[in-house]
Chain A
Amino acid sequence: MLPESHVAEHFANIQVQRQAARLGMWTFLATEILLFGGLFAAYAEYRSLFHEAFLLGARHLDAIMAAVETVVLITGSFAVVMALHYAKSSRAGMARLCLLAAAATGFVFLALHGVEYFHHFKEGALPGKYYSFAELRVTGISLFFALYFLMTGLHSLHVLVGAGVLVWLARRALSGQFSGQHYHPVELGGLYWHLVDLIWIFLFPLLYLV
């Protein structure tokens, strides 16, 4: 197989294509950071205004479950890193396995989150006008839960998309497409997955721990 066969027509060579793909994905990740950024700014404002509600709200959330979710996502990130390593070494089977494992961590994460949400639905700890949890009545608590659901909800949507991307890459890996010369789809998909992990690294302490 000629090394140049993976280069698209408008690129001068594979290096340019790779650098372009990488910069393109990182620029896109920058936009995702700013998308969540608005919610982080809202969090910062309302935490400042309703400090007690945020403290009590955090205490009420299941921190241990969230810690497990954190471990799950970090494991997924590690799996993705290994997938890239195997893709570069042309080890299609291992690459595919790692990608599927990473996707699986995403689904586990979503399942655990679903359990959390179900619990909150049952007790009435819901955002805004739906808040009916009698045991926790403090000024601003409905806002805490509004932010909780919005931030984790948006994040979960990205986990779903990320897991989907990894599954798609796993299928491509199976057909032996990836090698030391052509691995950048795995790299790019991996970058997106790592971003999902990064956002959770901040959501975890901000919502559940402090």
Chain B
Amino acid sequence: MVDASTEAEHGDLSPARYAVIYVCLLILTVATYSLSRLSLGTWSLVIALVIAITKSSLVVLFFMQLWQHRGSVRLALATALIWLLLLTFFVVADVRTRFPLTNPTANPVLDGPVWSPGSPEEPSRQTSTP
């Protein structure tokens, strides 16, 4: 029978290693903030998400010790993430492929000028990009 106490040490990182991960996370936080101050258009969302994914991978793999733990817990996380993407994909695909005039517009009293056919100010809603 495996000695219970050795399981505690097997695969765990040393405090120093955890500290290194911590510092990496701080650096990435600074990075994501700084990069967001530049105007990069569409890329700013992509870069922000890439950094967020990197940070969360560090937390999940090392702080949450998924790197050293068995298959079923990894499967639980992977499934949840894929399902999240599934829901988001079809919801966004819906609004982006609908006939544009069926998409909601906002209340003009609260949120700004209303668009009406032929009015001089037409917000270019149809061409919005993420």
Contact = CB atoms under 8 A, between A and B. Distances in A.
Classify A-B as touching or not with yes or no (CB < 8 A): yes
Contacts of A45: 91-92, 94-95
B62 to A, nearest CB: 8
Report whether over half of chain B's contact residues are helix, strand or loop; otherwise say mixed: helix
Nearest to A88: B8
B83 A138 contact: no
B8 A183 contact: yes
A194 B59 contact: yes
Interface in A176-193: 180-181, 183, 187, 190-191
| B-side interface size class | 35 or more
B18 A40 contact: no
A82 B83 contact: no
A141 B109 CA distance: 12
Interface string A6-20: 000000011100110
Contact of A209 (B5, B21, B33): B33
A181 B103 contact: no
Interface stretch (A69-77, A105-113, A157-165): A69-77
A194 B123 contact: no
Interface in A41-77: 41-42, 44-45, 47-53, 63-64, 67, 70-71, 74-75, 77
A205 B48 contact: yes
Interface string A23-37: 100110111011001
A52 B128 contact: yes
B101 interface: no
Contacts of B130: 44, 47-48, 51
A70 to B, nearest CB: 5
A201 interface: yes
A13 B91 CA distance: 46
Interface string B68-111: 01101100110111011001100110111000000111110011
22 contacts: A19-B70, A22-B69, A23-B72, A29-B76, A37-B83, A37-B84, A38-B87, A40-B84, A41-B88, A45-B95, A47-B130, A51-B130, A78-B18, A78-B19, A139-B106, A139-B125, A181-B4, A183-B8, A190-B63, A205-B36, A206-B48, A209-B36
